[in-house]
């Protein structure tokens, strides 16, 4: 049976199996129970309650003000809509400022919001934290490349890893975080060739957003694929409503294009 059969509850083992079999992993964000249910029934493997909710739900201009309580509220309602998909919650800005805070907050995500995994921005500097969460039995998705919570330090929303030294650093970050126990890597706004190198090097699955089609899976912000996000739609995103008659069809079309590695094409990737 295919690892992504619709009856099969997705776990970290299924994601590893999908990578091993070369089956692409389809992921989307969600923020409420109705969309969560629709995504779950449309074959989406992983649902992320992203702190992108600051922008697409709250109308903020960055993810920085999003709080733990807001993440837990949305995480809890999304978890009620999922039977099959694995649920990841984003650790909001400063919720992981110390290891102790991160352990307490990640624990709240698991206990109060039904998370199956937590996502953290940051590179090799998060090694100790990932080791601690792993020891506590909390699965971790490490987020490399463009890290929106560090937008002010990065000087804007820019493609990351374009030169040899930043590319080498990203390869090293990926290696260190995997060794520390990360179960999943997410690469945001990374040149396709570098994302391919990270994916080939990693034995854990690598999910891309603006990282080309060679990663083990893809994620996009739900409201971007439905063409309803307020504000700027990134180059790497695609409005699936333009080729669909319903929201369900748009989501199914995205899942299908991800499975067949037809999304993203070169138009939605960075060189």
Binding positions for ligand KIV, rule: CB under 6 A? 29, 48, 50-52, 90, 186, 188, 209, 219, 221
Least distance (Å) between residue 223 CB and ligand KIV: 10
Nearer to ligand KIV, 8 or 57 (CB): 57
The residue from 23, 121, 188, 257 that is catalytic is: 188
DSSP 8-state class, residue 60? -
188 catalytic residue (yes or no): yes
Nearer to ligand KIV, 33 or 64 (CB): 64
Nearer to ligand KIV, 40 or 224 (CB): 224
CA atoms of 3 and 17, how far apart (whole Å): 7
Interior/surface letters 37-72, b for 16+ CB within 10 angstroms, e for the rest: bbbbbbbbbbbbbbbbbbbbeeeeeebbebebebbb
Nearer to ligand KIV, 135 or 232 (CB): 232
Helix crossing, 127-135 with 99-113: angle to 10°?
40
According to DSSP, the residues that pair with 143 across neighbouring strands are: 121, 186
SS3 (DSSP) at 120: strand
Least distance (Å) between residue 245 CB and ligand KIV: 26
Do the Cβ atoms of 42 and 84 come closer than 8 Å? no
Residue with CB nearest ligand KIV? 50
Size of the chain, expressed as the number of residues it contains: 271
Q: Look at residues 165, 170, 172, 159 and name the one whose alpha carbon lies nearest to residue 271.
A: 159
Active site residues: 188
């Amino acid at each position: 049976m295919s690892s992504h059969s619709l009856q099969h509850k997705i776990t970290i083992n299924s994601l590893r199996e999908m990578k091993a079999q070369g089956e692409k992993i389809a992921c989307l964000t969600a923020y409420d129970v109705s969309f969560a249910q629709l995504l779950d029934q449309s074959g989406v493997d992983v649902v992320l309650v992203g702190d992108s909710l600051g922008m697409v739900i709250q109308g903020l201009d960055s993810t920085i003000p999003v709080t733990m309580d807001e993440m837990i509220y949305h995480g809890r309602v999304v978890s009620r809509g999922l039977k099959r998909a694995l649920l990841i919650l984003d650790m909001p800005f400063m919720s992981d400022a110390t290891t102790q805070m991160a352990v307490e907050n990640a624990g709240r995500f698991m206990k109060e919001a039904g998370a199956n995994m937590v996502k953290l921005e940051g590179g090799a500097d998060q090694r100790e934290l990932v080791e601690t969460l792993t020891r506590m039995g909390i699965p971790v998705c490490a987020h490399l490349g463009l890290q929106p919570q560090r937008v002010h330090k990065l000087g804007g929303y820019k493609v990351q890893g374009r030169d040899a030294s930043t590319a080498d650093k990203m390869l090293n970050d990926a290696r260190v975080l995997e060794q520390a126990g990360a179960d999943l890597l997410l690469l945001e706004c990374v040149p396709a060739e570098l994302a391919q190198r990270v994916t080939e090097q990693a034995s854990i699955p690598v999910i891309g957003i603006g990282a080309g089609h060679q990663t083990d899976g893809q994620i996009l912000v739900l409201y971007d694929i439905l063409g309803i996000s307020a504000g700027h739609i990134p180059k790497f995103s695609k409005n699936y409503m333009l080729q669909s008659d319903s929201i369900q069809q748009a989501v199914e079309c995205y899942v299908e294009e991800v499975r067949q590695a037809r999304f993203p094409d070169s138009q939605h990737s960075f060189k």
